[in-house]
Structure 1
Amino acid sequence: MLNRLFLSAGTWTALGLASGLYWREMTKINEFTGDTMLSGAHTHALALGTLVFLAVLALAKVFPIAEKSAKLFTILYNTGLAFTFGSMVVKGTLQVLELDIATSAMWPGFAGLGHMLLTGTWVYFFLILRKALKVDAAQARDAATVGA
């Protein structure tokens, strides 16, 4: 479980850094000076990917989070973030290339699906964490009772 969380954090770090480089080079090569979704893609990957997975990793190390629950959280969260991040990169690229399809309503739709999945996954994570806190408190009570 911890390794899966660590690998997710590392992957989103690489994607975040690569997309920042891609944004800079793509706009420079195409002499694009306007606003584009590419400008926020790398911060989404780094903040919502790297930082979130490192925080969840720390919580999983401290609290008894169930393996099965953590696996499902990781799959759902990565999927939601991939939808959000992917739609930003594709739409941003189309904006830089100044293609008409960049204004299509499907891009906010994909990003919206990703955000909805992320929101649902956050709710799920809070339920997982609440359960782990209860288990941790029960274990502490049991340890205190045995030691008395």
Structure 2
Amino acid sequence: MLKLFYAAFAYMVVGVASGLYYRELTKSQGFPEGEFTQLGLAHTHLLTLGFIVLLIVLVLEKVFELSKSPLFGWFFWVYNAGVILTSAMLVWHGTLTVLGEDSGAAIAGIAGLGHIVVTAGMVLLFLALRTRVVAAVAAKRAADTVDAGVAG
């Protein structure tokens, strides 16, 4: 549970810092206000996929004890690798755009790979969540059966 808390906190700090970087870099380079750059996307990806999603997973951990699933560790590392890879490519591509440099297809391809890894992490999360929800439902049914036997 602490691992989720610290990871969410780290994403919050890095997400806010990436927004500051975006604002300061575009301002210092005289980048036209309102013109698209992927730096703004890095800010929202880090805050949403990192901070908010991991806070939601923290609640799911509290309710369903997700970490008891053998897939949870896989989810945690695969998902975080995807978010970090995706965000790093967004920062790199966005920085090159602001500086007036060509980023090339490789950066977009690697960012796409990062999105695929994030998706794989989400699938692992749902597989881990399914095993824990099924276990919770089975435990509830068993408890209800015992209670019905005691009452009868």
Same-fold status (TM-score > 0.5) = yes
The amino acid of 1:119's aligned partner reads: T
Alpha-carbon distance in 2 for matches of 1:14, 1:68: 29
Q: What is the total number of aligned residue pairs between the two structures?
A: 145
Write out aligned runs for 1:59-138 (5 A).
59-65=60-66, 66=68, 68-100=70-102, 102=103, 104-138=104-138
TM-score (norm. length: structure 1): 0.92
The amino acid of 2:107's aligned partner reads: W
Write out aligned runs for 1:9-48 (5 A).
9-33=8-32, 34-48=35-49
How far the C-alpha of 1:123 sits from its partner, in A, is 1.2
Contact 1:64/1:135 (8 A) holds in 2 = no
Q: Secondary structure at the match of 2:50?
A: helix
How far the C-alpha of 1:28 sits from its partner, in A, is 0.4
Q: What's the Cα RMSD here?
A: 1.2
Contact 2:74/2:124 (8 A) holds in 1 = no
Higher alpha-carbon deviation: 13-22 or 64-73: 64-73
TM-score (norm. length: structure 2): 0.90
Q: Please list every run of 5 or more consecutive structure 2 residues that lacks an aligned counterpart in the other structure.
A: none
Q: Please list every run of 5 or more consecutive structure 1 residues that lacks an aligned counterpart in the other structure.
A: none
Deviations 1:52-105 (A, max 9, x none): 0011110110013225432221111100001110000011111111113x2x00
Alpha-carbon distance in 2 for matches of 1:40, 1:121: 20
